Amino acid sequence: MMSHNQAAYTPKGNPRCCPALDVSEWDTAQGWRHKKADLHQILSGDSSGHGGLVSAGFASANVVRECEPCREFFIGQFRMPTSWWSDYSRKSNGYFGCQRSHSPTGHDSFETWAYFEIKHIEDASQYHWYRLNTFIQWNAATRQTVVLAFDIPAAVAPRFLELLTTPDPHTLQFPFWFYPHLLEEVARQQEAAVWAIRDQVRVVEKQPPPEGRPNPDYRHMHDIARHAIHVSETLDVAAQTIQHMLVRHGALMRPTPDKYGWQQIHSQIQFFESYISSLRCRSSSNEKRMSNEIQLAFNTVAQYDASTSVKIGLATQSDSVTMKSIAFVTLTFLPPTFVSAIFSMSFFDYSADSGWALSDKFWLYWVFAVPTTLLTAIAWYFLRKYSISVSPKDEKQSSSAFMV
C-alpha cells in the first residue's frame, strides 16, 4: 500500500499490537492480489515492494481510533488530517474533503476523503445503516492509488472491490478516478433504500377501508415516516457532498493540459449528482404520501367519532321529545289537581240508598280549573319562547368576551 518512492513513516510506538488489515493490490500484470498484513508491515514498506497501482485496505475506524499508535501511523503514512479521527467527524452524517500534500522528496500527493450514510429497512421495525467511509491517497509521481475503506461490513467488502475491478490505466493518472465508481455504489444503495420506503408506503395505501370503528396502527405508520425522513436526510447530505466534490474537482481541473480525462470524470460525477437529486424528489414524494396516509387515518377516526356523536344527539333529541310530552300531560292535569286540593271539594257522593250523587256546585271546579290550566300553558309557552330568543344573544356575547 506504500509507494516505493515514498519515505516510510517511522512509528513512535509498537505497531505489532495493532490489528491486521485486509489488503488487496492490483496492477496491469497480475490483476488483484489479496492478503492479510499487520500495520507494521504495511507502514514499513516490507510487504509489497513497489506495490500495486491500486491498493485497497479494510479497517475498523473505531478500533484504530482507540489505538493511539495506529492513529499516528495512519496520520503519518497517509497524511490523514487529525480532524478525520475526531468525535465530530465520527458522528457526522456525511462529508467530503481534499488536500494536496508536499513530501520532502518532492513527490506530491492528493488526499481525498468521503463519507456516505444509507439507511436500509426490511420493515417498519427492522433496519440497518450502510456506511461508505473512504480515504484515498493518490501519488502524483507514481500514479499509485491507496484506497482505505473503514467499517465496511464483511459481506459488502467483495462488492466494494468490484468497484475497483480492472481499473482503466488511463484514468489512474487523475486523483478523482475512483469517485465515479464509489458514487455508483452510493446511487445503487440509495435507490434500494428509497424503493424500500416506497414499498412500505404502498402497503399502507392499499389497506382496505375498515368495517366498524377504525383502529389504525399509528406507531407503525410513524415508524415508516421516521425512516422516510432519515432516507431524505441521507440523500440531501449525499447531494451536498457530491456538489463539494465537483467544486473541488473543477478547481483542480482548470490548470491541467489533459482535460479530456478530467472532463470525463467530471461528467460522470455530475451524472450521479443529478441522479441523487432525482432520488431525493422520489423520497420527498414518499414522505408526503406517508404523511397523507397518517392524516387520512386521523380524519377517518374523527369522522367515525363524529358520526357516533350525531347518532347520540339524535337519540337524545328523541328522548327530549318524549320528556316534553310527559311534561305537557303533567302540566295539563296538575292545575285541576291543585284547585281540588285548595278547596278540598267533594263533588261526588255515594250512598247505598241513593247511589251516586253529583253536587250542584260542580261548576265551580271548571270555573277555576280551566282558566288556571290555560294560563299555565300560555305562561309556559311564552317562557320557553323567551328563553330560546335569549340563548343566541348570550352565546354571541360569550364568544365576543372570549375573543377579547
Task: Confirm whether pTM is higher than 0.85.
Answer: no
* Mean pLDDT within 354-360: 71
Query: Helix axis angle, 362-403 relative to 259-343, nearest 10°?
Result: 160
Q: Which domain holds residue 385?
A: 345-403
Per DSSP bridges, beta strands 145-150 and 54-59 are parallel
User: 46 in a domain, yes or no?
Assistant: no
Give bridge partners of residue 112 from the DSSP assignment.
Answer: 98, 136
| Count of Cβ atoms closer than 10 Å to residue 272 Cβ | 22
Checking if the pLDDT of 351 tops 80, the result is no
pLDDT tens readout for residues 100-135: 887 666 668 899 999 999 999 988 788 999 899 999
pLDDT tens readout for residues 32-50: 777 777 665 554 444 444 4
Q: How many domains does the chain have?
A: 1
Query: How far apart are the C-alpha atoms of 170 and 10, rounded to whole Å?
Result: 33
User: 258 in a domain, yes or no?
Assistant: no
Query: How far apart are the C-alpha atoms of 261 and 257, rounded to whole Å?
Result: 10
Distance between start and end Cα atoms, the chain: 77
Closest to 59 measured CA to CA, from 177, 160, 142, 127? 160
User: 168 in a domain, yes or no?
Assistant: no
228-to-72, 132, 210, 361, 382 alpha-carbon distances in Å: 39, 20, 25, 92, 64
Q: In the chain, what percentage of residues exceed pLDDT 70?
A: 78
pLDDT tens readout for residues 249-261: 988 876 666 677 8
Per-residue pLDDT band at 224 (split at 50, 70, 90): very high
Residue 87 is given by DSSP the state H
Phi, psi (deg, nearest 5) at residue 225: -60, -40
User: 246 in a domain, yes or no?
Assistant: no
Contact 180, 269 (CB under 8 A): yes
By the 10 Å C-beta count (0-12 exposed, 13-18 middle, 19+ buried), 68 is classed as exposed
* Mean pLDDT within 166-188: 86
User: 365 in a domain, yes or no?
Assistant: yes
User: 64 in a domain, yes or no?
Assistant: no
Checking if the pLDDT of 343 tops 80, the result is no
User: 261 in a domain, yes or no?
Assistant: no
Give me the pLDDT at residue 7, please: 41
Contact 271, 187 (CB under 8 A): no
User: 278 in a domain, yes or no?
Assistant: no
